[in-house]
Amino acid sequence: MLELIATEGAVGHTTISESLGIPKSTASSLLKSLLTAGYILRGEDRKFTLAPRVLRLSEGFHAQRQWLPPLLPLLDRLRDETAETVFLMERRGPNRVIMARRLVSEGLSFTVPVGDIAPLSGTAGGHALCRPDEIPLDAQGNPEPVQRSPSGVNFAPSAIVPGVSSFAVALRVPRDVPPLAFSVAMPEARLTPEIRVGIEAALVGIRDAAEKILGTYSTA
């Protein structure tokens, strides 16, 4: 419910009920709880918006991941250098989690949201987070096709969103930081050999800068 309000802005009771596929009585109960807790506000038009209190959730999340804020400027840089939608993701068990993203005004018409959890298969980002002995499988149980450049950049057509190509590079991280990867997603129709070279170079530069921040950079 909080995600819906965050995405849609001011929304009414009926819209919330229909969008979430829950009875109006259930929506009313949940909205009342969120109002009481101070996480949402109700305007004069009886529509609901997020309250400033939700910032505490974000603050607490970032406090538990002190490595994240220093890497966010690099995500901005990656978007600016590639002019494409970019992500920072971490591995959590058998899944990848989108920790942050930066969008472009002209690019993908669909993109996964921050906080999205999905299996490692299906994208270059998931492949980048795999251990050397892991091989993600497709829906038929066959090894997924992925290309890896000499500089360590993974490339694969997305198995999640047709017509999208993705690039990703993993980071060397300290022992107290989860496996991380930067990723770039772009429309397949726009990909050219020159653009591919540029994206791979940008990812390598971002990886090196990130590892310097994390204290794991090595020229070896």
The predicted pLDDT at position 56 comes to 82
Give tens-digit pLDDT for 163-178.
888 999 999 999 999 9
pTM above 0.75, yes or no: yes
- DSSP letter at 177 equals S
pLDDT over 90 (residue 122) = no
What does the block give as tokens for 132? 């050397």
**Average pLDDT of span 71-92:** 95
How much is the mean pLDDT over the chain? 89
Q: What's the CA gap between 128 and 146, in Å, rounded? A: 10
- pLDDT value at 85 more than 70: yes
* Residue closest to 155 by CA, chosen among 114, 206, 198, 213: 198
Spatial separation of the C-alpha atoms in residues 153 and 111, rounded to whole Å: 21
**Which residue is listed with tokens 């090894």?**
143
Non-local (6+) Cβ contacts of 118 within 8 A are: 95, 96, 112, 126, 160
> What's the start-to-end Cα distance of the chain, in Å?
48
Please give the share of the chain, as a percent, with pLDDT higher than 90: 51
Region class of 15: left (phi > 0), else alpha (psi between -120 and 50), else beta: alpha
Domains of the chain: 2-58 (1.10.10.10), 65-214 (3.30.450.40)
CB neighbours (10 Å) of residue 197?
11
Residue 32 DSSP label = H
Q: What is the mean pLDDT of residues 197-201?
A: 96
3-state SS class at 57 = helix
Given a cut of 70, whether residue 26 has pLDDT beyond it is: yes
Place of tokens 């360590």: 152
- CB atoms near residue 101 (< 10 Å): 20
